[in-house]
Amino acid sequence: MEKTFGMIKPDAVERNLVGKILARIEAEGFKLVALRRIQMSKAQAEGFYAVHRQRPFFNDLTTYMSSGPALLMVLERENAILEWRNLMGATNPKDAAPGTLRKEFAIDIEKNSLHGSDAPETAAFEIPYFFSQTEIIS
């Protein structure tokens, strides 16, 4: 069983989409092994997205991510990292395949409703960025 880090971003929490998204996650065979609702600080968002520091969208992205509450999740299933990326769909909802969560819910390339780790090394950074070992219960 593999674990990945996921988020329901502020744009989706604000539009009351949490229940619909969690239902879909469970229906697709993921187990929610950790869950928390927070509003991250700008500094926390900057640390989380440090890999994107040089990108032109970094300041807007970290402002948006700290603008309201988000849901933090650790998801577990076989091949969780790839399967969660597949369920989310492409970063830009215009490119997201039918049936993906971003196709259904995302507003635009920035406010794209969901986050997911993109590789094992990323999950290994992102999970402990927000969760302690005792909060993750398989």
Q: Which residues bind ligand IDP (CB under 6 A)?
A: 52, 57, 61, 91, 109-110, 112, 115, 118
115 is catalytic: yes
Q: Quick one: DSSP state of residue 57?
A: T
Instruction: Provide the 3-class DSSP secondary structure of residue 74.
Output: strand
Instruction: Provide the 3-class DSSP secondary structure of residue 35.
Output: strand
Which of Mg ion, ligand IDP, none interacts with 109 (beta carbon under 5 to 8 A by kind)?
ligand IDP
Shortest separation between residue 112's beta carbon and ligand IDP, angstroms? 5
Shortest separation between residue 48's beta carbon and Mg ion, angstroms? 10
Among the listed residues 9, 25, 115, 117, the single catalytic one is 115
Which of ligand IDP, Mg ion, none interacts with 77 (beta carbon under 5 to 8 A by kind)?
none
CB under 8 Å to 11, separation ≥6 — which residues? 64, 106, 107, 111, 112, 113
Which of ligand IDP, Mg ion, none interacts with 4 (beta carbon under 5 to 8 A by kind)?
none
Phi/psi class of residue 27: alpha, beta or left (left: φ > 0; alpha: ψ in -120 to 50)? alpha
Q: Report the catalytic residues.
A: 115
